Amino acid sequence: MTTLNQLTVADAAAKLANRECSSEDLVAAVLASIAQHDQQVGAYLTVDAESALAQSRAADAARAGGDIRPLLGIPVGMKDLLNVQGQPCTCASKILKGYVAPYDATAVAKLRAAGAVILGRLNMDEFAMGGSTENSAYQQTRNPWDLSRVPGGSSGGSAAAVAADEALATLGSDTGGSIRQPAGFCGCVGLKPTYGRVSRYGLTAFASSLDQIGPLTKTVRDSALLLGAISGRDPHDSTSLDAPVPDYAALLGGDLKGLRLGLPKEYFIDGLDAEVEAKVRAAVDQCRALGAEIVEISLPHSKYAVAVYYIIATAEASANLARFDGVRYGLRVDGEDPIDQYGKTRAAGFGQEVKRRIILGTYVLSSGYHDAYYLRAQKVRTLIRRDFDTAFEKCDAILTPVAPTAAYQFGEKISDPLKMYLGDIFTIPVNLAGICGVSVPCGFTSEKLPVGLHIVGPALREDVILKIGHAYEQSTPWHKVKPEIRGQKSEVSGQ
């Protein structure tokens, strides 16, 4: 039997509308699931149950009064770098221990305006720097499909919570793959919207020319529902685009006839796991069977994307993280003078990966090196963007793997930063080009680990990649298979 916490957002909204359950029932079921599983999974840093239940009761009262907003009473979990008024926002860093957000991020405010219940703080790599959530200063998050493996990252808590039915849906952030890769590792749907589609106001900045907020969900339809709720121009974020927000969920449906899908010849590389490649190629065949035309394309500069990314992202991070100096918020370690105070505070407050990236970013921007590294990287970024412009003349969307491997064991890559960075090779080019991409489950390895299909679209064509993802998902069984946690096996049948 399906319990309420296992529902999709769309199904829960229907049940609420039909008065088959209340928002309080829904939130209580999610809280019970957290109590039951999160000891093992470790997705949440904090859960304010009292606040969530109070919000749910308010939603139920509103519904009794005739309120029919689409997300009314639906609980949504938040990655710990999105500000929620009155809640902690630590970015999984010791330097922000005890910080209480004085305002709502715009994405959070928009979800509230749509009626959603804001629930819990989800674990992540410190300041979103990492691909396994092992860089959290607070706790490990385990992959619900195999507790000895990482959930991916940096939005590892957001993905694990959805996979473990400890949330109906969550928000994460994606700078180089931080939504799509954990979604792939945990078998859920993760969307990185076009740069500017969603306001970043209230998202703690990592790399400002790359960061985007997006949803992690159980289905493509839920992804469309949440994207519609959080998108749009915001005066608080000058990079947010003044483009109409379509009803993404209403645009789903139909087959893939008339769509051309590009397969980049450079992306089926050495180092791509054979099982992952087989699953992705089978997904490509399935898209063909659904009516799509598959065309070969070329993205010749993508092989430079990781190098470009680790210059641009670290440079921007070194500037953005300068604000953590012990003056206005967070940790302070006293020093003899202000400079000594900054140095001691930052030494004590930041973890190893954050320090590594601040040093690298400061180095590539430093006098004498700026042109050789940063400016050159920005120019190669132009070449990577042009590759996509050219490719999208031949196709409507691009299919690739999300990551070269399925979820790996704890400790496997953490000691070798470069190896960890190369895990983002398929997702990073999308951030550099500012376009959109979605990870959709496309099967399991022989060890029953999820594999993700990465569907990439042109700027502001989330409607296209969601339509493709939805058609693929609805023709395959993968999204209905649930992980076994603590020896409990359950499969949800039908929708």
Partner 1 sequence: MNSPDKIDVRYVAHLARMHLGDDEVARLQPQLEQIVGYVRQLDELNVDGIEPTAHAIPVQNVFRSDDVRPCLDHDAVMRNAPQAREGQFIVPKIIE
Segment 244 to 303, residues that bind partner 1, using CB under 8 A: 301
Q: Please report the sign of the dihedral spanned by the C-alpha atoms of residue 444, residue 446, residue 448, residue 449.
A: negative
The distance between the two most distant Cα atoms of the chain, rounded to a whole number of Å, is 69
Examine residue 383 and tell whether it contacts partner 1 (CB under 8 A). yes
Distance CA 173, CA 330 (A): 22
Q: Which of 307, 414, 481, 492 binds partner 1 (CB under 8 A)?
A: 307
Residues 438-467 that bind partner 1 (CB under 8 A): 459
CB closer to partner 1, 59 vs 308? 308
Residues 82-121 that bind partner 1 (CB under 8 A): 98-100, 102-103
3-state secondary structure of 119: strand
Q: Does 178 participate in catalysis according to the annotation?
A: yes
Q: Which of 253, 254, 258, 338 binds partner 1 (CB under 8 A)?
A: 338
Distance CA 25, CA 36 (A): 16
Residues 386-405 that bind partner 1 (CB under 8 A): none
CB closer to partner 1, 177 vs 196? 196
CB closer to partner 1, 379 vs 394? 379
Here the tokens at position 452 are: 């993700």
Q: Does 366 participate in catalysis according to the annotation?
A: no
Contact 443, 282 (CB under 8 A): yes
Q: Which of 139, 140, 298, 378 binds partner 1 (CB under 8 A)?
A: 378
Q: Which of 57, 69, 260, 376 binds partner 1 (CB under 8 A)?
A: 376
Q: Which of 127, 185, 350, 472 binds partner 1 (CB under 8 A)?
A: 350
Contact 121, 83 (CB under 8 A): no
Q: Which of 295, 380, 481, 492 binds partner 1 (CB under 8 A)?
A: 380
Q: How far is the CB of 369 from partner 1 (least distance, A)?
A: 8
Distance CA 86, CA 347 (A): 28
Q: Which of 308, 395, 428, 442 binds partner 1 (CB under 8 A)?
A: 308
Examine residue 411 and tell whether it contacts partner 1 (CB under 8 A). no
CB closer to partner 1, 341 vs 476? 341
Examine residue 343 and tell whether it contacts partner 1 (CB under 8 A). yes
Q: How far is the CB of 35 from partner 1 (least distance, A)?
A: 30
Sole window of 69-77, 190-198, 464-472, 476-484 interacting with partner 1 (rule: CB under 8 A): 190-198
102 by Cβ neighbours in 10 Å (0-12 / 13-18 / 19+) ranks as: exposed
Helix 49-64 / helix 23-41 crossing angle, nearest 10 deg: 160
134 by Cβ neighbours in 10 Å (0-12 / 13-18 / 19+) ranks as: buried
CB closer to partner 1, 118 vs 220? 118
CB closer to partner 1, 99 vs 478? 99
Sole window of 29-37, 252-260, 305-313, 462-470 interacting with partner 1 (rule: CB under 8 A): 305-313
Concatenated DSSP letters for 408-467?
-BTTSSTT-HHHHHHTTTTTHHHHHHT-EEEEEEEEE-TT--EEEEEEEE-TT-HHHHHH
Distance CA 108, CA 361 (A): 30
How many residues touch partner 1 under the rule CB under 8 A: the total is 74
Contacts 24+ apart (CB under 8 A), 95-99: 95/324, 95/330, 95/331, 95/345, 95/346, 95/348, 95/349, 95/350, 96/324, 96/329, 96/330, 96/331, 97/330, 97/331, 98/330, 99/329, 99/330
Catalytic residue among 158, 178, 199, 439: 178
Sole window of 70-78, 142-150, 330-338, 441-449 interacting with partner 1 (rule: CB under 8 A): 330-338
Catalytic residue among 56, 79, 192, 231: 79
Q: Which of 70, 232, 246, 335 binds partner 1 (CB under 8 A)?
A: 335
Distance CA 182, CA 452 (A): 9
Q: How far is the CB of 100 from partner 1 (least distance, A)?
A: 6
Q: Which of 267, 310, 426, 472 binds partner 1 (CB under 8 A)?
A: 310
Concatenated DSSP letters for 158-202?
HHHHHHTTS-SEEEEEESSSTTHHHHHHHTSEEEEPPTTTB--TT
Just list the catalytic residues: 79, 154, 178
